[in-house]
A and B are shown apart, each in its own frame.
Chain A
């Protein structure tokens, strides 16, 4: 049984996972997602989501069930919330590369 639902989607421009907030914005932070606890809240979120689709901000929105521990019920949505569970290879730190380059130049 889910305790509440949140509305998830992908940001059109970046493709990143976003969640609908209580003030009708979209955030990458799951913790800031609006907790939809009743039918009215769900209907309002669905309305927001279809407007966001129509205005080309968000794609593929859908409701995600959240359980007692405050995390999505399903493993797929848990991974979608946190990112890959396997350690990716070390990423390039563009900031320090840029800093190193400017030090070298300076």
Chain B
């Protein structure tokens, strides 16, 4: 993984020192809350429902064991012994005190981490395929470009006050595990005929109150042109994006209102007229990054691994272990979705165990997935049983990756100041109810995501069954959407009908699964069945039994 150079290190240390001075001035009363709030937000510190919340950036979801251990230390010393991994591949601490945050930022800087640009109308943490660099179906490792974008966008003055927040996602594989079509800009890296790296650029995707699937802005952009082209797209957005109404301020609204062709023409014009001297040295920097993001030295494997027959372990192998580029190696995904548990939460002890396992078995590297799980990316296949045994002892061996109980859920009304309804208890109930069925039967192709408000941090729009928390007459109510997908075949779920109470949601999900299984052809996904049959058969079953 990328290691900070002196420049990176002094940058985060200086930022931490600056924030310490700002906190001191706030506590001394020389900064008012009005003056301080934008400063704390620029450092990822929110004031939530019960307390401050600190959002720590995990650049493109890649983390070292040392960093994970430091997060565990922060959870113990400054929080309540746990953290929440988010759909942005970040981690949030729910209970830090303002007086402690400068020390927390120092502790993060010690291990090359920070909370910069995890809030505000700037370019946020770049996200990518959690299997980047190791996926068997990958043609280009996206991490060097991710790092280039991180460096380019960090403290970039021109893009620090955009009309609204801005999110990039990248993949270099044939399966999209980064939901690139639901980001402001999605980048699909691929190989050209001569083996060179090329990028397809998608623009205007997003979820929230106006879900949009990104449109293809430009194909086959060369690596040399990538940053100038993205810079031009950002400039057009910065200039024309709506600054009067935050609900119309995202780039997706600009692209929709101008039309893709008009938007693309403006970008092209900006790109052609840009001063290219601003990008001198970028190609060399990218080469440096390609060399700096070292892959571990893989050991040659002589024989294929013999793994025990243990039935439970075999289930875990089937769902949680994925094909690696390297012969004899595997990608192991640790589920943070215990049945009936809180999606994405990990205790400090669990964090330490994951760090220990990755030191012992995965070249000291971990990844955070946008589905709120953790990846051990470099595991010798022969070590999987040992890893599984250790995970099992720490309640981390749930075998449900990409299964219905692998529910994405945002913090919702249990923590979030913007929420309209709770998400976590719904996820707990639904996972408890669906798990028996998923163990008894193949439910591949069914995803369930839950958001506590229309901001859609829980990605409900892109799930086969999406659940959106709303408020009606002061009570929590839940709207259900069907037919979403977040891969290259992206689709936005459609509203089923009137909402449900919290108590009705688990049975409603069960009924929808019944209908799917009744009509499913071979191993069709839920959303494919929904597209084939239409809404009526599902709504009749649900509302007849409601």
Residues of A within 8 A of B (CB): 10, 12-17, 53, 55-56, 59-60, 73-76, 79-80, 83-92, 94
- Report which of A59, A76, A85, A94 forms a contact with B47, defined as CB distance below 8 A: A59
Known: A15-B97, A56-B26, A59-B33. A88 touches B80 (CB 8 A): yes
In the complex, the answer to whether B80 meets A91 with C-beta atoms within 8 Å is yes
Q: Which residue of A lies closest to B51 (CB)?
A: A15
- A14, A83, A88 interface centre (most CB from chain B within 10 Å): A88
How many angstroms between the C-alpha atoms of A76 and B75 in the bound complex? 26
Q: Which of B49, B422, B471 contacts A80 (CB 8 A)?
A: B49
DSSP class of B's interface residues: helix, strand, loop or mixed? mixed
**A91 near B413 (CB under 8 angstroms)?**
no
B341 — which chain A residues lie within 8 A by C-beta? 89
Interface residue ranges, B against A (CB under 8 Å): 26-27, 29, 32-33, 47, 49-52, 75-76, 80-82, 96-99, 341-342, 345-350, 413-415, 419, 422, 424-425, 428, 471, 474-476
Alpha-carbon separation in the docked complex, A80 to B413 (Å): 9
Q: Which one, B33, B50, B476, contacts A16 given CB within 8 A?
A: B50
In whole angstroms, what is the CA distance A36 to B25 when docked?
34
Indicate the member of B50, B51, B81 with the most A CB atoms within 10 Å. Answer: B50
- Chain A positions within 8 Å of B76 at CB level: 92, 94
Q: Which of B81, B98, B474, B475 meets A12, CB within 8 Å? A: B98
A79 to B50, CA, bound (A): 9
Say which residue of A53, A60, A73, A89 sits within 8 Å of B81 (CB atoms): A89
Chain A at the B interface: SS class: loop
Q: A16-B51, A60-B47, A73-B474 are in contact. Are A88 and B345 (CB under 8 A)?
A: yes
Q: Quick one: given A14-B97, A14-B98, A88-B342, are A56 and B29 in contact (CB under 8 Å)?
A: yes
- Residues of A near B474 (CB, < 8 A) are 73-75
A79 lies within 8 A of B414 (CB): yes
Whether B50 pairs with A88 at a CB distance below 8 angstroms is no
- How far is B342's CA from A87's CA once the two chains are assembled, in angstroms? 8
**Which residues of the partner chain B approach A87 to less than 8 Å between Cβ atoms?**
342
By the criterion CB–CB under 8 Å, are B82 and A91 in contact? Answer: yes
CB < 8 Å: which of B26, B96, B98, B422 contacts A85?
A: B422
Q: Write the chain B residue with the least CB distance to A86.
A: B424
Please give me the residue from chain A that is nearest to B80 by CB atom.
A91
Chain B: CB-nearest residue to A10: B47
- Whole-angstrom CA separation of A60 from B27 in the bound complex: 15
Q: Is there contact, CB below 8 Å, between B99 and A86?
A: no
Residues of B within 8 A of A12 (CB): 26-27, 33, 98
Nearest-Cβ distance from residue A47 to partner chain B, whole angstroms: 18
Smallest CB separation, A5 vs chain B (Å): 16
In the complex, which residues of chain A have a beta carbon less than 8 angstroms from the beta carbon of B428? 86
Q: CB within 8 A of A90: which of B33, B75, B347, B425?
A: B347
> Could you list 15 examples of A-B contacts with CB < 8 Å?
A10-B47, A12-B27, A13-B27, A14-B51, A17-B50, A56-B26, A56-B33, A60-B33, A75-B474, A76-B413, A80-B49, A84-B424, A86-B342, A88-B80, A91-B82
Cα A79 to Cα B81 with chains together (Å)? 21
Residue numbers in A under 8 Å from B471 (CB-CB): 75
